[in-house]
Amino acid sequence: MNIDVKYGLPFIEVTICYRGEELHLKNVLLDTGSAGTIFSADAVDSVGVRIELGDFLNKIRGVGGVEIVYSKHFDFVKEGEVSLSSFEVENMNYGMEIDGILGFDFIRLSGLVIDSKELTVLAKD
């Protein structure tokens, strides 16, 4: 998978599936500095990802301050040929137009290798 550099940051494409509905996200930040994976609530709304009674709410802290997020288990999250099933993702609204952040949780569990010179992401053999 190729990395697209925008705003000086690495962006990739990701496919998600929630309750059998797939969605291709083209503007996902690849972020080794983010502990978790998080998607824009607006971006994933089209496949039915919405806050529901009984959802767990959490506060996250970052450069932009404190935000409230809710968690969902996706059928899968896929980057290139790498797919993780029943993957838990937080969802929130962002201050900038991105579809989400693929965090270190996904990167580590899937064994992704980031080649910053060639601007590619590979699955570790």
What pLDDT sits at residue 110?
Answer: 94
Tens of pLDDT, residues 45-63: 999 999 898 888 887 776 6
Q: How far apart are CA 4 and CA 69, in angstroms?
A: 27
Check: CATH 2.40.50.100 for 4-123?
no
Q: What is the DSSP letter of 39?
A: E
φ and ψ of 13, to 5 deg: -105, 145
Name the residue with higher pLDDT: 121 or 93: 121
Q: How far apart are CA 21 and CA 110, in angstroms?
A: 22
What pLDDT sits at residue 90?
Answer: 84
The answer to whether 2 touches 52, Cβ cutoff 8 Å, is: no
Reference 21, options 43, 49, 52; nearest CA is: 49
In the chain, domain spans? 4-123
pTM, two decimals, is: 0.88
Q: Locate all alpha helices (DSSP H) within the chain, ordered by sequence.
A: 41-44, 104-110
